[in-house]
Structure 1
Amino acid sequence: MAGSEVLGVLGGMGPMATVDFLRKLVEATPAARDQDHLAVMVAQAADIPDRTRAILGQGPDPLPAMTLALRRLEAAGATRLAIPCNTAHHWHGALQALTPIPILHIVDAVVAELAHRGLAGGPVGLLATDGTLRTGLYPRHLGRHGFTCRVPTDQAAVMRAVRLVKAGQGAEARPLLRAAAAALMAGGCRQVVMACTEIPLALCDAAEPLGAVLLDATDALARACVAAAVPASRAA
């Protein structure tokens, strides 16, 4: 692993989603020993205000708290940054304008994963927060690559599931998310993006019957971080 590379993780949105991202980062790394892994600094900034509430005009702006966490990661020596929260990417441009350190974009990572799976366009399902949907983040980015985005007819059930996961009740969230994903598949979506980092905590399981059509944005971001840091000869 390149010794000068230090990945800074602007996390805490939510805390368990950040832990899930770190696990996937380790699993995505082609390593035979401890020293082959990425050097990682984590700001588990759970005090960042709710992103969806802010986007919907119902809560305080999270940018100041995200900026403070960013400054901590800069001071710790981060050379590249990742934010394991889809909704927080509404502020990606504002954060990037504050630092010369490159911030990987989670939707770019999803686009790369769709290409890796052989998709060059068409309808894609989104399981995301109300805030992420309101921003148009995914339709805007995926639209440049020929994809159209479809959302569940029962978006309230998806938000209920996200709140359940945040409260540590993933088992209760699972049937809600599974039903939403199945409905998107029935509507013609070949892939369903888990575009909220809480959702894989409930839906990603080796025995998950919908696993082949679910695309985990958290995992895609982890892979993008490794690809950015590991020499191509090592990643092959």
Structure 2
Amino acid sequence: MSEARMLGVLGGMGPLAGATFMQRLTLLTPATRDQDHIPAILWSDPRVPDRTAARLSGGEDPLPWLLRGLRGLEAAGCGAVAIPCNTAHGWFAAMQDATRLPILHIVEAAADELRRLGAHDGRIGLLATKGTLAMRLYQERLEGRGYEVLVPETEEMDRVVMPAIDEVKANRVAEAYAPLAEAATRLVARGARAVVLGCTEIPLGISAGPALPFPVADTIDALARAAIGWAKPAG
């Protein structure tokens, strides 16, 4: 594989999500030997300021830190960038304008994952950070593809979803399962045919317990599949 197919991974948001992305990229790649895998460089910088705080409460702007990572991946010879953090995609346009490298969009990858799961249209649920929901990163793109997007109630976000995300960031992954499963199940009860796990901490919590009895679009896996498609195009 040529150096042009070196994948850059802008991670650290959070660190476990970035590390898990690298693992899933490896496990999902069709390979029988080391040399069949995708060359990749992980830039894991947990110092990037909180994206939700920046968007909702005037916190420090993460963009300079994101651009620093992009420049590092450019200098390393990467040919494209994957960002295993959903909320960071609120700065997608500014990042893409600042780099010559194509950035794989996690929401587009999630839409492909929904189709792979058989959910081509209709109602789908979305679990995400408050920042991702406020920026309508998923709602606008998925509604344009014919989906109706259901999100948790404000009370559920405050009581269940955001605390569970914090548990994962604090390495208490098992504790996140029950509240996240509750939130996902409530979306299905409201008519969702599948649930998008639209924060890369959420699949980590969901995977810590029994499989849910309905389709979930894991955005870590979705982005890994998009990266594989870029690095190993069909044909």
| Residue in 1 that maps onto 2:180 | 177
2:211 to 209, 212, 235: 209
Q: With the length of structure 1 as denominator, give the TM-score of the two structures.
A: 0.95
Deviations, residues 110-168 of structure 1 (Å, cap 9, x unaligned): 11111222222111111100000000000011011101111122111100000011001
Distance in structure 2 (CA, Å) of the matches to 1:149 and 1:2: 40
Distance in structure 2 (CA, Å) of the matches to 1:5 and 1:85: 21
Q: Secondary structure at the match of 2:7?
A: strand
| Residue in 1 that maps onto 2:225 | 223
Q: Secondary structure at the match of 1:81?
A: strand
> Are the counterparts in 2 of residues 2 and 230 from structure 1 also a CA contact under 8 Å?
no
Q: 5 Å matches for 1:44-55?
A: 44-55=44-55
| Residue in 1 that maps onto 2:193 | 190
> Are the counterparts in 1 of residues 10 and 70 from structure 2 also a CA contact under 8 Å?
yes
Q: Secondary structure at the match of 2:148?
A: strand
Q: How far is the alpha carbon of 1:208 from its aligned partner?
A: 2.2
| Residue in 2 that maps onto 1:94 | 94
Deviations, residues 162-195 of structure 1 (Å, cap 9, x unaligned): 0011001112111110100111111110100110
Distance in structure 2 (CA, Å) of the matches to 1:75 and 1:173: 37
> Are the counterparts in 2 of residues 2 and 229 from structure 1 also a CA contact under 8 Å?
no
Q: How far is the alpha carbon of 1:2 from its aligned partner?
A: 4.7
Q: 5 Å matches for 1:1-236?
A: 1-153=1-153, 154-156=156-158, 157-204=160-207, 208-210=210-212, 212-233=214-235
- In structure 1, list runs of 5 or more residues that go unmatched: none
Distance in structure 1 (CA, Å) of the matches to 2:211 and 2:64: 41
> Are the counterparts in 2 of residues 204 and 211 from structure 1 also a CA contact under 8 Å?
no
Provide the identity percentage: 48
Distance in structure 1 (CA, Å) of the matches to 2:61 and 2:19: 24
- In structure 2, list runs of 5 or more residues that go unmatched: none
> Are the counterparts in 1 of residues 9 and 41 from structure 2 also a CA contact under 8 Å?
yes
Q: Secondary structure at the match of 2:196?
A: strand
Residues 75/2 of structure 1: CA separation in 2 closer, same or farther (3 Å cut): closer
Superposed CA RMSD in Å reads 1.3
Q: How far is the alpha carbon of 1:3 from its aligned partner?
A: 4.9
Distance in structure 2 (CA, Å) of the matches to 1:34 and 1:4: 18
Q: With the length of structure 2 as denominator, give the TM-score of the two structures.
A: 0.95
Residues 140/19 of structure 1: CA separation in 2 closer, same or farther (3 Å cut): same
Distance in structure 2 (CA, Å) of the matches to 1:8 and 1:116: 25
Q: How far is the alpha carbon of 1:212 from its aligned partner?
A: 4.0
> Are the counterparts in 2 of residues 152 and 184 from structure 1 also a CA contact under 8 Å?
yes
Distance in structure 1 (CA, Å) of the matches to 2:214 and 2:226: 20
Q: Secondary structure at the match of 1:139?
A: helix
> Are the counterparts in 1 of residues 117 and 215 from structure 2 also a CA contact under 8 Å?
no
